[in-house]
């Protein structure tokens, strides 16, 4: 948690915005996960979000769902994803955040996620995003996370009323994940016109870092969001770029090139 906070403080002093790529653990294969983490940081990533593959990821669109399916078909488990992070963690400066769902947390240990959080923290993961755990039901998860020093990063939607925005802003740790569009993840040709007003409203009620995800796919979109947000999260467009490669090495190189282009824009 402290590493995430320190990263945003450093970026604010430098008047820079965080670039946060998302990859799916185990895709294109498990051996690539650690290499991708190192490549993304070298290309300019400030934090990195790693997904735990799950068969029913309700917040994810078809591109991320397909990546999760490929990883699961290769037998990727949550434990293997955590170990892939652990293997390269000593060489990474960027904080790593894990995105998972409640079902894998409970399968790891029926203790409100504490076993998973303890294991992920031991592997050097500083935060967790669990999209299917709303604020009203996040108490047990937050208490388990507090015991391990893990940040629970909560999502806010464009449709969230002011009272809910304030409640989520108070509870979220590390940063606030602002969902730019209603619906699931996925690259989009244009961002909604109300995005900037939504960010402005959120800025009025919190001093915590606000990072925007869902739908950002081009350097121009990333640059526009960076003018209002503390960070830009890019997943589907990155996975799409990787998917055009014909080999593991090609996918890793494509990921580095894609993030380097976004880094210049943000």
Identified catalytic residue from 27, 46, 60, 230: 60
User: Catalytic site residue 60?
Assistant: yes
Determine the Cα–Cα distance for residues 22 and 185; give it in Å rounded to an integer.
11
Identified catalytic residue from 46, 49, 126, 230: 49
User: Catalytic site residue 41?
Assistant: no
Determine the Cα–Cα distance for residues 111 and 107; give it in Å rounded to an integer.
9
What amino acid positions are annotated as catalytic residues? 49, 60
């Amino acid at each position: 948690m402290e590493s995430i906070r320190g990263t945003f403080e450093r970026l604010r002093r430098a008047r820079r915005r965080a670039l946060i790529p998302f990859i799916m653990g185990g895709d294109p294969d498990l051996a690539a996960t650690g290499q991708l983490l190192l490549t993304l940081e070298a290309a300019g990533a400030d934090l990195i979000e790693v997904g735990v593959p799950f068969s029913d990821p309700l917040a994810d669109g078809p591109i991320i769902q397909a990546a999760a399916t490929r990883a699961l078909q290769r037998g990727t488990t949550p434990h293997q994803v955590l170990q892939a992070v652990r293997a390269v963690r000593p060489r990474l400066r960027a904080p790593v955040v894990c995105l998972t769902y409640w079902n894998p947390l409970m399968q790891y240990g029926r203790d409100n996620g504490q076993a998973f959080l303890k294991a992920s923290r031991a592997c050097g993961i500083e935060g967790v995003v669990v999209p299917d755990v709303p604020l009203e039901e996040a108490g047990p998860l937050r208490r388990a996370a507090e015991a391990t020093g893990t940040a629970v990063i909560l999502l806010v939607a464009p449709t969230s009323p002011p009272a809910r925005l304030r409640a989520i802003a108070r509870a979220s740790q590390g940063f606030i994940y602002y969902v730019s569009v209603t619906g699931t993840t996925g690259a989009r040709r244009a961002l909604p016109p109300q995005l900037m007003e939504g960010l402005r409203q959120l800025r009025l009620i919190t001093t915590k870092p606000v990072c925007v995800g869902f739908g950002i796919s081009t350097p121009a979109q990333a640059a526009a969001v960076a003018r209002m947000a503390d960070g830009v999260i890019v997943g589907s467009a990155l996975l799409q770029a990787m998917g055009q490669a014909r080999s593991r090495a090609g996918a890793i190189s494509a990921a580095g090139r894609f993030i380097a282009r976004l880094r210049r824009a943000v």
